[in-house]
């Protein structure tokens, strides 16, 4: 029998009763306990129709006449309910949060089987809480754990490489050679020295080398030597022992070498490193060990170093401002990263890539750029290289609201003065061609260079180009077809 005060429970909600699992007898015995502890209870039959509802649930749902809802599909009475799911699957939902008219209800749902235990005859549900306030400590702990997990994931993401070889965009001969040497570097564990002007993409290439190496699953730690004061560099590199100086942390503070252990340490602008630290860096590279500031203990580290600089290290060695032994230690495999001036043929694909990234970051539709606008971009010297190109395109979009196509007038609002005058000093105006034709010629040139560099080996040429072999075959077929159509 139903407990006192129940509505619609004068007869068994599950005809025939059950002898296994959750029985009517056990339900009847438990109902007084659940009625006292819960904020409402219901039962449904095998068709998920409401067979019983108690007074508390009626008040919670605002139901004045419980008889009017008995026999109706439970989803019509409680739209957010998952009772049909419990009946269908035969699996309990022991703890669930259900939204009802702005309220959050904590609900437990249990299936009820027939006497053989092989068929679901219905289900019962109890509202454990109609107010989440009692659960605040538990919810707060859960949210804190979620926050800690998200912070840990962000920290791990920062320690990993975000770029791969395909992110170093370009199809010119100089870019293909850079990628070839970068893949050679990725396959080895030797130090790499990246040479080139600022803004050319040295860190992108460093991350791509790490991502393509056996250390890809380990940390990638970058440090800009020029951005750290000289008196803090040693602590930044090698860490600080507990209580090494007044105000120092009571725990060991790890340096960049310890953080990069097992992975790659990227030293950007290594040419700006002061002399006293160069000797310590050389020892760390040669011996594979570091000594934290204020400590007498030597800690072994396994770090692969990639260094980068925009300065001429050979001249600095000759002047005595950079140690020759450190230079030779870093310069095992050097890669010169070309300036944008040297790879103007890549301007079209670079613009497309940058505009796609800007659209993804802003959430706005992707803008296109005309062949005429790219022709104007070719007239500029680009002292800031790719970083300056991105800045120019970003300014153009910012200064021209709802700009879906970047043409010459829009571009001139953000383009540096020399390019606005129409030509680079000493360089004649280049003829403007349709973008499709320019891209096709650049693609043909890139494929030709790759096939020449690989001695005609198409599989190797595809690797140099960073595309699947099947895509290379498709492009070769299209280029051959285009050539035949042109001839006829």
| N-to-C CA span, the chain | 94
Alpha-carbon distance 174 to 196, whole Å?
Answer: 13
Binned average pLDDT, 10 residues per bin, the chain of 488 residues: 40 42 58 70 90 86 87 90 90 83 81 78 83 62 69 56 87 92 93 95 94 92 89 85 60 84 94 90 89 82 94 92 94 95 92 91 89 90 93 91 86 71 45 62 79 80 77 79 60
**8 A C-beta contact, residue 429 and residue 461:** no
pLDDT of residue 271: 93
Which segments of 333-407 does DSSP mark as H helices, in order? 347-362, 371-377, 385-399
**309 class by beta-carbon count within 10 Å (0-12 exposed, 13-18 middle, 19+ buried):** buried
Residue 261 and residue 249: Cα distance in Å, rounded? Answer: 22
Cα separation, 386 vs 378, in Å, equals 13
The CATH class, in words, for 340-432 is mainly alpha
> Are 50 and 72 spatial neighbours (Cβ–Cβ below 8 Å)?
yes
* Matching CATH number, 160-336, of 1.10.30.50, 3.40.50.300, 1.10.3210.10, 3.40.50.720: 3.40.50.300
Residue whose pair of structure tokens reads 């450190």 in the numeric block: 326
Residue 265: predicted pLDDT: 94
How many CB atoms are closer than 10 A to CB 439?
18
Q: Which pTM does this prediction carry?
A: 0.56
Give the residue from 93, 54, 88 showing the smallest Cα distance to 70.
54
Residues 159 and 259: beta-carbon distance below 8 Å: yes
pLDDT at residue number 344: 93
Which DSSP string do the residues of 22-40 spell out, in sequence order? S-HHHHHHHHHHHHHHSS-
Output the CATH code of domain 6-135. Answer: 3.30.450.20
Is residue 284 a contact partner of residue 290, using CB atoms and an 8 Å limit? yes
Other CB atoms within a 10 A radius of the CB of residue 434 amount to 11
- pLDDT reported for residue 427: 43
- The pLDDT value recorded for residue 196 is 94
Q: Which two tokens stand for residue 191?
A: 């130090």
- Beta carbons within 10 angstroms of residue 354's beta carbon: 19
Q: In what order do the strands lie in the sheet with 264-268?
A: 220-224, 264-268, 304-309, 192-195, 333-336
Q: Left (φ > 0), alpha (ψ -120 to 50) or beta: where does 409 sit?
A: alpha
**Any idea where the domains of the chain sit in the sequence?**
6-135, 160-336, 340-432, 437-487
Give per-residue pLDDT as tens, 463-482.
777 777 777 887 887 777 76
DSSP string, 14-79: STT--SSSS-HHHHHHHHHHHHHHSS-EEEEETT-BEEEEEHHHHHHHT-S-GGGTTTSBHHHHST
Rounded (10°) CA dihedral 457, 459, 463, 466: 110
Contact 215, 263 (CB under 8 A): yes
Tell me which of 3.30.720, 3.30.70, 1.10.3470, 1.10.10 is the CATH number of domain 437-487: 1.10.10
- What lies within 8 Å, CB to CB, of 342 at 6+ separation is 174
Q: What are phi and psi of 6, to 5 degrees?
A: -75, 155
Q: Which residue has the tokens 């998952």?
A: 82
Residue 282 CB-density burial (10 A; 0-12 exposed, 13-18 middle, 19+ buried)? middle
């Amino acid at each position: 029998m139903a407990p006192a005060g129940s509505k619609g429970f004068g007869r068994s909600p599950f005809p025939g009763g059950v002898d296994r699992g959750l029985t009517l007898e056990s339900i009847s015995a438990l109902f007084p306990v659940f009625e006292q502890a819960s904020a409402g209870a219901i039962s449904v039959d095998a068709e998920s129709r409401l067979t019983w509802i108690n007074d508390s649930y009626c008040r919670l749902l605002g139901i004045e006449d419980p008889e009017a809802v008995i026999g109706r599909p439970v989803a019509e009475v409680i739209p957010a309910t998952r009772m049909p799911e419990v009946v269908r699957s035969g699996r309990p939902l022991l703890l669930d949060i259900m939204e009802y008219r702005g309220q959050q209800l904590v609900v437990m749902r249990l299936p009820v089987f027939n006497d053989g235990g092989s068929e679901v005859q219905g289900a019962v549900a109890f509202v454990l809480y109609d107010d989440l306030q009692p659960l605040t400590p538990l919810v707060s702990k859960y949210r804190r754990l979620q926050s800690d997990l998200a912070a840990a994931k962000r920290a791990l993401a920062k320690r990993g490489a975000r770029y791969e070889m395909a992110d170093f965009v370009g199809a010119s001969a100089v870019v293909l050679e850079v990628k070839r040497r970068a893949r050679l570097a990725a396959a080895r564990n030797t130090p790499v020295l990246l040479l080139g002007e600022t803004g050319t993409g040295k860190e992108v290439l460093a991350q791509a080398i790490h991502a393509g190496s056996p250390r890809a699953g380990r940390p990638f730690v970058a440090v800009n030597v020029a951005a750290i004061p000289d008196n803090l560099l040693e602590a930044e590199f090698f860490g600080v022992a507990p209580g090494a100086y007044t105000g120092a942390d009571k725990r060991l503070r790890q340096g960049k070498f310890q953080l990069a252990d097992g992975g790659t340490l990227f030293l950007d602008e290594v040419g700006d490193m002061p002399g006293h630290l160069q000797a310590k860096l050389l020892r760390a590279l040669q011996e594979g060990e570091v000594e934290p500031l204020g400590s007498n203990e030597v800690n072994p580290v396994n770090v692969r170093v990639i260094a980068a600089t925009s300065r001429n290290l050979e001249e600095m060695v000759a002047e005595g401002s950079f140690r020759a032994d450190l230079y030779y230690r870093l310069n095992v495999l050097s890669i010169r990263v070309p300036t944008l001036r040297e790879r103007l043929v890549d301007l079209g694909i670079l613009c497309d890539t940058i505009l796609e990234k800007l659209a993804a970051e802003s959430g706005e539709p992707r803008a296109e750029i005309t062949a005429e606008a790219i022709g104007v971009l070719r007239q500029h010297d680009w002292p800031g290289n790719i970083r300056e190109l991105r800045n120019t395109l970003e300014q153009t979009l910012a200064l021209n609201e709802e700009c879906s196509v970047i043409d010459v007038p829009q571009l001139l609002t953000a383009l540096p003065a020399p390019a606005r005058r129409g030509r680079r000093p000493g360089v004649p105006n280049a003829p403007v061609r349709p973008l499709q034709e320019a891209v096709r010629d650049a693609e043909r040139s890139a494929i030709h260079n790759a096939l020449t560099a690989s001695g005609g080996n198409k599989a190797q040429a595809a690797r140099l180009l960073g595309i699947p072999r099947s895509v290379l075959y498709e492009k070769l077929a299209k280029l051959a077809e285009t050539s035949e159509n042109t001839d006829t």
